[in-house]
Amino acid sequence: MSAAELDVHLADGRPAVVHVDGTPEATTWVAQHRDRIRSLVDQHGALLVRGLHLADAAAFGRVARDVAGPLLPEREAFARRWSYEDGVYSSSKWPPNQPMCMHHELSYTLTFPGLMVFGCLGAPASGGVTGVADAAAVLEALPADLVERFEREGWQLVRNYNEMVGVPWQEAFGTDDRGEVERYCRDNAIEFEWDAMDGLRTKQRRSAVITHPKTGARVWFNQVAFLNEWTIDPEVRDYLLMEFGPDGLPFNSRYGSGAPIEDDVVALLNKVYEEHTRREPWQTGDLMLVDNIAQAHSREPYEGAREVLVAMGEPVSLASCSPTVSPS
């Protein structure tokens, strides 16, 4: 089957799926079909390629570099990942019984990946779907007054880095030199302050609505719902509040003004995401490509071992996406 003849399966509630005939070597097949694959991602926002039988992290890395170009190192991570090789990571280490709600990867940074690449080396016994949701459709479905407020104010991310919970600042910034962290923060419009215990607190304001630089579509692009206290498991949230107080949570999203986001607003955001979610259970060997601006993605709870690798490519500057507020 030629690249132009790839058979794309479309069904309601599912991402676009291409089934690979036979058992080809993954890197060779992807190299032969790269242009068509990228065209399908541009067309559908996300594409699942089934039947490649990705064997290991090295094979996945070769495929990811072929379709996504030079891979990006992760900075400002909110959860731990294991690094297999440069630019190839495990999925974020997150309790398997808790969902990772819809979000756009690194949407709080000034340069973020335009393309996410996922490879399944081991499917879980149940659950664990990486769902996707059309960010333009989500924006259209949200109440106009709420969208207007976020367009006007943007959103704010507040983080507290410490050794007890979340990701230590040394790991998130890839250095144990406080001076380098401070330079990074200044260069990336992040307020910062150190505490007496070598902990770091940061604040950054970003646009919640941007324009896709390729398509011109306006999209809901942020991590407002995911990185908010009301999305945290209630028991975990109560413990964190008792241990660290309302201003000491490892992360929390706010309106751009700094005002708290109400629980019913977060519930509404997650409801709209769910109404627009497309999902397909993982099978071992699957490859999935997601336009990180056009589509939000999630990870659903699961049982059994799950090994899904992640790579990030095609860097995009926030400045090229018509942000509605200035980063600060």
pLDDT exceeds 50 at position 3: no
Same structural domain, 127 and 157: no
Same structural domain, 126 and 178: no
For residue 318, is it within any domain?
A: no
Same structural domain, 87 and 157: no
The predicted pLDDT at position 13 comes to 97
Same structural domain, 120 and 225: no
Mean pLDDT of 230-255: 91
Same structural domain, 266 and 288: no
pLDDT exceeds 50 at position 72: yes
For residue 29, is it within any domain?
A: yes
Same structural domain, 232 and 179: yes
The percentage of residues in the chain with a pLDDT greater than 70, rounded to a whole number, is 98
pLDDT exceeds 50 at position 2: no
Same structural domain, 27 and 77: yes
- pLDDT interval class at 111 (50, 70, 90): very high
Same structural domain, 19 and 129: yes
Give tens-digit pLDDT for 186-230: 999 999 999 988 999 999 999 999 999 999 999 999 999 999 999
Residue type, 17: V
Same structural domain, 185 and 84: no
Domain that holds residue 294: 14-133+279-313
For residue 321, is it within any domain?
A: no
Give tens-digit pLDDT for 129-173: 999 999 999 999 999 999 999 999 999 999 999 877 778 999 999
CA contacts within 13 A on the Cβ side of 40: 24
Mean pLDDT of 107-136: 97
Give tens-digit pLDDT for 306-321: 999 999 999 999 999 9
For residue 95, is it within any domain?
A: yes
Same structural domain, 263 and 145: yes
- pLDDT interval class at 252 (50, 70, 90): very high
Give tens-digit pLDDT for 6-44: 889 999 999 999 999 877 789 999 999 999 999 999 999
The predicted pLDDT at position 209 comes to 98
Instruction: Kindly report the CATH number assigned to the domain that includes residue 191.
Output: 3.60.130.10
Full-model pTM: 0.95
The predicted pLDDT at position 141 comes to 98
The predicted pLDDT at position 4 comes to 55
pLDDT exceeds 50 at position 326: yes
For residue 323, is it within any domain?
A: no
Same structural domain, 248 and 182: yes
The percentage of residues in the chain with a pLDDT greater than 90, rounded to a whole number, is 84
Same structural domain, 49 and 80: yes
Number of domains in the chain: 2
Let me know: does 133 contact 139? Beta carbons within 8 Å: no
For residue 156, is it within any domain?
A: yes
For residue 7, is it within any domain?
A: no
Q: 81-105 as b/e, with b when 16 or more CB fall inside 10 Å?
A: beebeebbbbbbeeebeebbbbbbb
